[in-house]
Amino acid sequence: MNQGNNLLAINIDGLLNRLNKNEQLMIKLLLEFVRDYADAYERIQSALQTDHVPLALKLIHTIKGLAGNLCALQLFENSKTLETAIKHNTGDYQNLMHSFYSSLTEAIHTAQHIIDQNTKHQNTIKTDSLSDNLHTEIHPDVPDMLNTLSVLLQEHNIESGDCLTSIRSMLRHPECQAKLNTLEQSIDKFDFASARHTLNELIKEVNTHMHQAKKVT
């Protein structure tokens, strides 16, 4: 795929570098992004209009993490600014929401364009069925990221949520998803002790899967 840097909403070269040039994994992540967040702006608006501010903040926070992982830098910055403004009840909401909407829309359109271009070149790729190895492979940076998360949890650092979001984008193994979900719930509740316990179990599981993968290869 030779998209270059023309699609500025997502830095494709940067994203591919993060994923070790794995184009199939990139397409899968973009498909999930389009599927799950194409209507995110409307969901955030609805939450704010009905005084469900924590729900709106959680969604914006998630999109901020995903934007960072997908190298959608403008969306990341606008999400961060909007999240801060809502948390502290400062800033011009109308303009901030408009900027957020514009960058989200551009990122969604860019992601869909990349998907469409990839599909033209690889007709065997389907939106609901990618190769099984995408679900089972573990990115080589995951162990280091898990160690970083461990330090953040020991410090009771709220940035542990962002770190977990990054880990999720690179740890797709189905047998790890339950512990990732439990870990996220503990962090959301600021239950760092339980989160550390779950993380230790997850680290053991990841090490086991990576060891088995080396045996196969």
User: For residues 111 and 30, is the Cβ–Cβ distance under 8 A?
Assistant: yes
pLDDT-derived band at 6 (thresholds 50, 70, 90) equals very low
The pLDDT tens digits for 97-108 are: 999 999 999 999
What pTM, to 2 d.p., does this model score? Answer: 0.58
Q: Which range is least confidently modeled, 38-52, 53-67, 80-94, 114-128? A: 114-128
pLDDT value at position 177?
Answer: 86
State residue 178's pLDDT score: 86
In the chain, the percentage of residues whose pLDDT exceeds 90 is 50
pLDDT at residue 60, as a whole number? 95
Compute the mean pLDDT over every residue in the chain, rounded to the nearest whole number. Answer: 84
The pLDDT value given to residue 215:
65
High-pLDDT (> 70) share of the chain, %: 86
Residue 114: partners with Cβ closer than 8 Å, 6 or more residues away: 1, 3, 7, 10, 12, 26, 27, 30
116: pLDDT strictly greater than 90: no
Q: What confidence category does residue 159 fall into, taking pLDDT thresholds of 50, 70 and 90?
A: confident
